[in-house]
Structure 1
Amino acid sequence: MKATIRYRFNAELHDDESLYERARGVVERLADVHFGFREWWTVPAKARQSPFALGDREDVLKLIEMQRQEFQRKYPGVPLSVSNGVLLSNARSEKQWRANGSITIAINPGPGEVRLDIGDLSAATETPTELVWSSLRALTEDPRAVFAQTNVKQSVGKDRKLYSLNCGVFPHRDFLGWMGYVNQAVSGSQVPDAERVERQGQGTLILATEKVDLFDARLIEKMNKVEISLAELGLLPITDASISE
């Protein structure tokens, strides 16, 4: 099973050095969540490139500069904000990366989002709910966070499901998924089907269900009811204004 946390903030355009510091700030918040989140490496764009430890500041800055220049050569006239970001993994080699749970984090201030992918929850931890919940909490400590969601991808035999594609409620609104964050105070009575509701800064963390199984209709219904409650509160962003309620 794969879980993807994505949290959003207002778009930011950084120079190379401030982008590097932004990336460091994000992963430093994750360091206490799990031992596998303490060291991060750049993800090579080409087969012959070697990864750099994020702590190797000068090497990473050179890589950021090279990627920025390459983007500008390939897409002249396209705003840099489209690609202004850093992609990191929690291992130096692909073998170790897979053993660690196939984890990557993409810090993209240009479009205003950070995405943490845990590709294999069972390899990463024996307590998946707590790992993802703690990661969500750490990431949304960022006071710039305005919304966060957790998508889930699961396979059973030959059948595959992605929550956002196969299980969500609204075709015109964003989804919360397994768990997420809204930048408004919400009480448990306002989302009665949620398993946990916890204040986080100016906003609220919400866990729809302790266990996630996209092939269990009861759990999907529970997650959907949480999203319906949030939509009624005006807290699920509209993604397609052409579709009416």
Structure 2
Amino acid sequence: MISARIWVDIPEAALDAEAGYRRVQRLLDAFRRVVPDLQHWHGGLNTPRQKYVEFFDKEAMLERIDERMKQYAAEFIHLPHGFLIHLDSDTSSKRTPGLFELGYTPTERSIFLDIYRPDEAFGPSAAQVVRDVLTAIVELEEVEYAFVDVRDRVPDKPRPTTYLVSYAAFLHRKALGWMGYVPRRVTADQLPSAAELVQVPGKGTVIVAVNDAFSLANKAHIKQANIVEMELVDLDLLPVTDPSLQ
């Protein structure tokens, strides 16, 4: 597996720099409880000559956030303006297993968290780590839907691909992929093919399709994820993205 990316849909919000910083700080604290090595996060690159800023250097980071917000507002005058940030857990020029990348853009209703080679970094615990990180996001944010896409190399394709692009069960709906979240309580009777269901109190359900490190070269993994997606359609819990294809 090259990477697993958690895609999260959240309500649109035009946050100021302080409010956005507080929200991201809560997420990073929660991630550290899952992966204790996630002690440092870096970002704030708005021009080619700038150096990374440590996220927890609040004054310096807020300056860079404010600078980026002004750049974005000037460049995209017709789009909603507000807090946005991209952070890496390591500033090394070479990507190493276990690298986390976070994108938090509430004006675009989006959070993503990319984990590079989680199977190498976490071994047999890879599914548990991804599940727990996803659950932490759901606990802290008002999540409307989330899924985990996997990017991988497969023998019959000339270049790396993703579950969403090549293997999702439906072209006109969201995917679930390795695992995901729906804002409703779902039971094992309703979703019998899921490997695991995690109830998030007061919210909904984290759904794990495959409880191993997901591989696009493993036909059993693809089939399992497809079946869970079909069961979600029967429950009207897999959102439609293109009504014209229904």
* TM-score between both structures, scaled by the size of structure 2: 0.91
1:25 counterpart residue number? 26
How does 1:21-100 map onto structure 2 within 5 Å?
Answer: 21-42=22-43, 44-80=45-81, 84-95=83-94, 98-100=95-97
Q: Which amino acid aligns with 2:89?
A: N
Return 138-147 or 197-206, whichever deviates more: 138-147
Secondary structure at 1:94 match in 2? coil
**Contact persistence 2:44–2:61 (CA under 8 A):** no
Secondary structure at 1:106 match in 2? strand
2:132 counterpart residue number? 134
Secondary structure at 1:32 match in 2? helix
- Give the distance between the partners of 1:72 and 1:101, measured in 2 at CA: 33
2:152 counterpart residue number? 154
Secondary structure at 1:31 match in 2? helix
Quick check: 1:179 aligned with 2:176?
A: no
Gaps of 5+ in 2: none
**Contact persistence 1:51–1:92 (CA under 8 A):** yes
Deviation, structure 1 residue 167: 0.5
- Give the distance between the partners of 2:120 and 2:215, measured in 1 at CA: 17
**Contact persistence 2:172–2:243 (CA under 8 A):** yes
The Cα offsets for residues 185-219 of structure 1, whole Å up to 9 and x where unpaired, read as: 10011111110012112201111011222122222
Aligned length: 240
Q: 1:180 to 1:73 in 2, by over 3 A?
A: same
Deviation, structure 1 residue 43: 5.1
**Contact persistence 1:154–1:162 (CA under 8 A):** yes
**Contact persistence 1:3–1:151 (CA under 8 A):** yes
* TM-score between both structures, scaled by the size of structure 1: 0.91
- Give the distance between the partners of 1:242 and 1:183, measured in 2 at CA: 25
How does 1:183-222 map onto structure 2 within 5 Å?
Answer: 183-201=183-201, 202-211=203-212, 212-222=214-224
Percentage identity across paired residues of the two chains: 27
Deviation, structure 1 residue 79: 2.4
- Give the distance between the partners of 1:146 and 1:102, measured in 2 at CA: 26
Deviation, structure 1 residue 143: 4.9
Alpha-carbon RMSD across the aligned residues, in angstroms, is 1.7
Deviation, structure 1 residue 159: 5.0
- Give the distance between the partners of 1:56 and 1:188, measured in 2 at CA: 45
**Contact persistence 2:197–2:208 (CA under 8 A):** yes
Deviation, structure 1 residue 5: 0.7
**Contact persistence 1:152–1:177 (CA under 8 A):** yes
Gaps of 5+ in 1: none
Runs of 4+ in 1 over 3 A off after TM superposition: 156-159
Q: Which amino acid aligns with 2:240?
A: I
1:144 counterpart residue number? 142
**Contact persistence 2:89–2:100 (CA under 8 A):** yes
**Contact persistence 1:9–1:147 (CA under 8 A):** yes
Q: Which amino acid aligns with 1:219?
A: H
Q: 1:67 to 1:43 in 2, by over 3 A?
A: closer
Aligned counterpart in structure 1 of residue 108 of structure 2, from 98, 108, 111: 111
Return 178-187 or 28-37, whichever deviates more: 28-37
Q: 1:225 to 1:60 in 2, by over 3 A?
A: same
- Give the distance between the partners of 1:102 and 1:117, measured in 2 at CA: 8
- Give the distance between the partners of 2:75 and 2:11, measured in 1 at CA: 26
